[in-house]
């Protein structure tokens, strides 16, 4: 498997992908190229974010996305950069983005893959310099090659993802992804312009002492969540919630912990989006030994009905997710 490869920490993403490729001799390299295209988009967005205060890309754009959410200028910049990188890369025939109502056809009808993405999650944090992230989910298309992609390419269900991951624009910028065989983290070296393998074969600790939830919504949480939060306090857990899903998820994956976004009165189906937030992070969670649930079953087993549907999300250390779900 990929994890058995003698790939030392410190290799570039390109070399890691090449080594991984050698573990799958029948793979034809399109997925490898697609991962490189995503890394390129991440490098470009990283540069824009780092300059946000200096060039006019910070703040609101005065427009709303399909979700009715105020678009930040960088939301739009990130969306455009990802679409352009994936279109130019040639491996992706269509994209589903949080920022667009319908799927975007790239013109690469020969492409074997489709990507569902949240180009920049937590973007309201940009102006206050808090970590933000891009989240992506990759499927092989099920519609005929050379024809147009369509809805069923994106509604295959979480367990049909061939790869998923995120880019975290934090104190350092990291790309974390899995192609199904372990989770690996790459830290961006600004001086080289390269992602370097820094976190090989990440394992989510089964237990943890951190819980991430917005306690401001406490009174609108279901009783089983209120009980769980009380249990965290009685167990002297630390509360860590930065209002940015990718940042909270990444910390919990490395240190052990649980992130909760329950259903609320305002969002009875939860706030987070199934296809490009919950599914990809659930894929990463499970491939690193963690768990992800909607309160009833695994996120990855939810049958998708529509592009932008929401779901409650309880994700992180396996034993903590079990605790909250069993109530
Ligand atoms: P609340 C950001 O808007 C986001 O989608 C996640 O990144 C974050 O965890 C959550 O919503 C924050 O939502 O309701 O706690 O402000």
Whether the per-residue pLDDT at 237 is higher than 80: the answer is yes
Q: Over the chain, what is the mean pLDDT? A: 93
Whether the per-residue pLDDT at 239 is higher than 70: the answer is yes
Taking residues 140-158, what's their average pLDDT?
A: 97
Closest ligand 1 atom to Cα of 214: 15
Give 36's Cβ-side CA count (13 Å radius): 16
Closest ligand 1 atom to Cα of 121: 7
Which pLDDT does position 57 carry in this prediction? 66
Both tokens of residue 243? Answer: 């209002």
Rounded to the nearest angstrom, the distance between the alpha carbon of 243 and the centre of ligand 1 is 5
| Ligand 1 site, residue 122, Cβ cutoff 6 A | yes
Confidence of residue 123 (pLDDT cuts 50, 70, 90): confident
| Best probe residue, ligand 1, of 212, 217, 261 (max atoms within 8 Å of C-beta) | 261
pTM of the model: 0.95
- Rounded CA-CA distance 68/87 in Å is 26
Q: Which of 3-12, 28-37, 159-168, 179-188 has the lowest mean pLDDT?
A: 3-12
What confidence tens digit (pLDDT) does each residue in 282-303 have? 999 999 999 999 999 999 999 9
Closest ligand 1 atom to Cα of 69: 3
Please state, in angstroms and as integers, the Cα–Cα distance from residue 44 to each residue in 78, 166, 240, 246, following that order: 9, 15, 29, 18
Confidence of residue 2 (pLDDT cuts 50, 70, 90): low
| Ligand 1 site, residue 270, Cβ cutoff 6 A | no
Which pLDDT does position 68 carry in this prediction? 76
ipTM of the complex: 0.98
Which pLDDT does position 64 carry in this prediction? 81
Confidence of residue 224 (pLDDT cuts 50, 70, 90): very high
What confidence tens digit (pLDDT) does each residue in 178-200 have? 999 999 999 999 999 999 999 99
| Ligand 1 site, residue 98, Cβ cutoff 6 A | no
Whether the per-residue pLDDT at 162 is higher than 90: the answer is yes
| Ligand 1 site, residue 220, Cβ cutoff 6 A | no
Taking residues 153-163, what's their average pLDDT?
A: 98
Give the Cβ contact number of residue 33 at 10 Å. Answer: 16
Confidence of residue 65 (pLDDT cuts 50, 70, 90): confident
Any known ligand binding at 317? no
- Rounded CA-CA distance 67/114 in Å is 21
Q: For residues 176 and 183, is the Cβ–Cβ distance under 8 A?
A: yes
Taking residues 230-241, what's their average pLDDT?
A: 98
| Best probe residue, ligand 1, of 243, 250, 316 (max atoms within 8 Å of C-beta) | 243
Whether the per-residue pLDDT at 27 is higher than 80: the answer is no
Which pLDDT does position 1 carry in this prediction? 58
Which pLDDT does position 24 carry in this prediction? 67
The residues, ordered by sequence, that sit 6+ positions from 49 with a Cβ below 8 Å of its Cβ are 74, 126, 132, 169
Whether the per-residue pLDDT at 12 is higher than 80: the answer is yes
Any known ligand binding at 98? yes
Confidence of residue 204 (pLDDT cuts 50, 70, 90): very high
Confidence of residue 69 (pLDDT cuts 50, 70, 90): confident
| Ligand 1 site, residue 121, Cβ cutoff 6 A | yes
Nearest residue by C-alpha to atom 5 in ligand 1: 122
The DSSP 8-state label assigned to residue 106 in this structure reads -
Nearest residue by C-alpha to atom 9 in ligand 1: 245
Rounded to the nearest angstrom, the distance between the alpha carbon of 316 and the centre of ligand 1 is 16
Any known ligand binding at 129? no
| Ligand 1 site, residue 243, Cβ cutoff 6 A | yes
Which pLDDT does position 197 carry in this prediction? 96
The residues, ordered by sequence, that sit 6+ positions from 162 with a Cβ below 8 Å of its Cβ are 31, 113, 138, 139, 140, 179, 180
């Amino acid at each position: 498997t990929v994890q058995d490869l003698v790939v030392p920490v410190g290799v570039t993403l390109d070399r890691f992908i090449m080594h991984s490729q050698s573990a799958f001799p029948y793979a034809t390299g399109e997925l490898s190229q697609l991962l490189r295209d995503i890394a390129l988009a991440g490098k470009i967005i990283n540069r824009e974010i780092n300059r946000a205060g200096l060039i006019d890309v910070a703040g609101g754009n005065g427009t709303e996305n399909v979700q009715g959410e105020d678009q930040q200028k960088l939301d739009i910049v990130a969306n455009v950069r990802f679409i352009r990188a994936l279109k130019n890369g040639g491996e992706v025939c269509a994209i589903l983005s949080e920022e667009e109502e319908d799927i975007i056809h790239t013109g690469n009808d020969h492409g074997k893959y489709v990507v569902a993405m949240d180009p920049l999650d937590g973007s309201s944090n940009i102006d206050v310099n808090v970590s933000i992230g891009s989240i992506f989910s990759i499927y092989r298309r099920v519609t005929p090659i050379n024809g147009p992609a369509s809805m069923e390419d994106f509604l295959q269900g979480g367990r049909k993802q061939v790869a998923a991951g995120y880019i975290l624009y934090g104190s350092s910028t990291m790309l974390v992804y899995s192609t199904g065989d372990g989770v690996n983290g790459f830290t961006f070296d600004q001086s080289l312009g390269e992602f370097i393998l820094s976190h090989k074969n990440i394992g989510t600790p089964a237990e943890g002492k951190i819980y991430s939830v917005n306690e401001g919504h406490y009174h609108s949480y279901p009783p089983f969540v209120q009980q769980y939060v009380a249990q965290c306090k009685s167990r002297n857990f630390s509360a860590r919630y930065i209002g940015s899903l990718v940042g909270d998820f990444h910390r919990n994956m490395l240190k052990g912990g649980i992130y909760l976004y329950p259903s609320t009165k305002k969002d009875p189906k939860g706030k987070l989006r199934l296809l490009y937030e919950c599914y990809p992070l659930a894929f990463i969670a499970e491939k690193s030994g963690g768990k992800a649930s909607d309160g009833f079953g695994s996120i990855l087993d939810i049958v998708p009905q529509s592009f932008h549907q929401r779901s409650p999300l309880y994700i992180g250390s396996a034993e903590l997710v079990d605790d909250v779900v069993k109530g």
